[in-house]
Amino acid sequence: MAVAKDNKETYLFTRVDKNTKSLPVSFEDWALKAREILPDGPFDYIIGGSGVEETLAANIKAFSRWAIVPRMLRDVTHRSAHITLFGQQLRTPVLLAPVGMQAIAHPDGELATARAAAAAGIPFVVSTVSSYSLEQIAQTMGDAPRWFQLYWSNDREVSASMVRRAEAAGYSAIVLTVDTIMQGWKRRDLRNGYSPLREGKGLANYIQDPVFRSRLTEVTPENAVEEIIRGIYHPALSWGDIAFLREHTSLPILLKGILHPEDAKLALEHGADGIVVSNHGGRQLDGAVSALEALPGIAEAVNGRLPVLLDSGVRTGSDVIKAMALGANAVMIGRPFMLGLAVAGEQGVASVLDTLLGELDVAMALSGSNTVADLNPSILVRV
């Protein structure tokens, strides 16, 4: 078959012409490979959810309850999935969710993820509990887009200091995670006796922080772990704390972990610039509503007044389309890229992204969608 090299429409054919056998092409296949490579502790930590993993399963099932009703004969030659988010032009509506302690998957951890994200032009949301410091990660990314995820600290000055550092290092938004005021109940980790935080895999940002350091009598990994654990679980977090954060940064602030439409309205009232509809990938409150089920009610409550992102269960290009059609302005993925990282480092993350974006492009074409504006409820049916 004659196949033009740079022709987008022949994406799949050119791909099949290449050797596609070397790396997995689905979430399930990446998970099988990662299972072979990783010890039980890290594998279960990454793949697992809380409780009986009801919400973890619900996140996936929710996507099957919607079907795309494709439109035909719409000339999709010049389609594009680009979006504008906080003034930033992005070629796709996909971001890498904040995932902490990435050295448990691969020794290069966030540095590998950052390089793959930068190469793909996809924003990387760097976690507070990353294995490399936010400055080191920024250095590998040049001008590529990056956001910083904040875990609130009991010691507000530590939070303020981290946000200042993120701003100085070229991060362009702050994602405050509000669903992790304590750790979810994770049976797998209890069974394995595994705590990557305790093992010191998430210290980098703290150890580098001048305010945090000033709180320790002696800066040792052991002391740092104890101090982090004292500070990171913060059941007293309340709407009043958003004002403090607002005073300490001029960057857009997103609240991650919103599931109730009333909380979406409160986020607006308290000056948030965006929200992430998320149940933390089914890792926090088991039995919680799936993110996709929560989305339409939240989109309605927000009514276009601020960007709504979604994560938890996005696995395929069609999933991206469904979330966008139900009101998301962008989506984030967590476990999919972590499995790629575990199996093949930077190349693995790059491959996961390449597959997802390829699927999204084909799904846009076959659903008759030229731009993200075509991704609206008129192309979905509840099944």
Ligand X SMILES: O=C(O)C(=O)c1ccccc1
Residue the block writes with tokens 């750790």? 183
280 is catalytic: yes
**The binder of ligand FMN chosen from 280, 295, 326, 339 (CB under 6 A):** 280
Contacted by 327, from ligand FMN, ligand X, none: CB < 5 to 8 Å by type: none
Strand partners, 380: 68
Instruction: Tell me which of ligand X, ligand FMN, none is bound by residue 286, counting a contact when its beta carbon lies within the kind-specific cut-off of 5 to 8 angstroms.
Output: none
Identify the H or E element spanning 13. Answer: helix 11-17
By the criterion CB under 6 A, which residues form the site for ligand X? Answer: 100, 129, 180, 197, 202, 232, 280, 283
The yes or no reply on residue 312 touching ligand FMN (CB under 6 A) is: yes
Confirm if 285 and 52 have CB atoms less than 8 A apart: no
Q: To the nearest whole angstrom, how small is the minimum distance from the Cβ of residue 233 to ligand X?
A: 8
Is residue 181 packed enough to be buried (19+ CB in 10 Å), middle (13-18) or exposed (0-12)? middle
Residues 6+ apart with CB under 8 A from 19: none
Q: Which stretch binds ligand FMN (CB under 6 A): 5-13, 97-105, 245-253, 301-309?
A: 97-105
The residue of the chain with the least Cβ separation from ligand FMN equals: 334
Choose, from 106, 234, 248, 280, the residue flagged as catalytic.
280
Examine residue 256 and tell whether it contacts ligand FMN (CB under 6 A). yes
> From CA 202, how far away is CA 345, in angstroms rounded?
18
98 binds ligand FMN (CB under 6 A): yes
Q: What are phi and psi of 278, to 5 degrees?
A: -165, 145
Whether residue 92 contacts residue 81, with contact meaning beta carbons closer than 8 Å, is answered with yes
**Residue from 92, 127, 153, 318 in contact with ligand FMN (CB under 6 A):** 127
To ligand FMN, the closest distance from the beta carbon of 281 in angstroms equals 3
> Is 334 a residue that touches ligand FMN (CB under 6 A)?
yes
Q: Binding ligand FMN by CB under 6 A: which of 92, 131, 149, 161?
A: 149
Collapsed DSSP state (helix, strand, coil) of residue 101: coil
CB of 350: closest distance to ligand FMN in angstroms? 17
Can you tell me which residue has the tokens 């594998």? Answer: 43
DSSP state letters, 303-337: TTSS-EEE-SS--SHHHHHHHHHTT-SEEEESHHH
Contacting residues toward ligand FMN, per CB under 6 A? 45-46, 59, 97-100, 127, 129, 149, 177, 256, 278, 280-281, 283, 311-314, 333-335, 338
Q: Catalytic residue positions?
A: 280
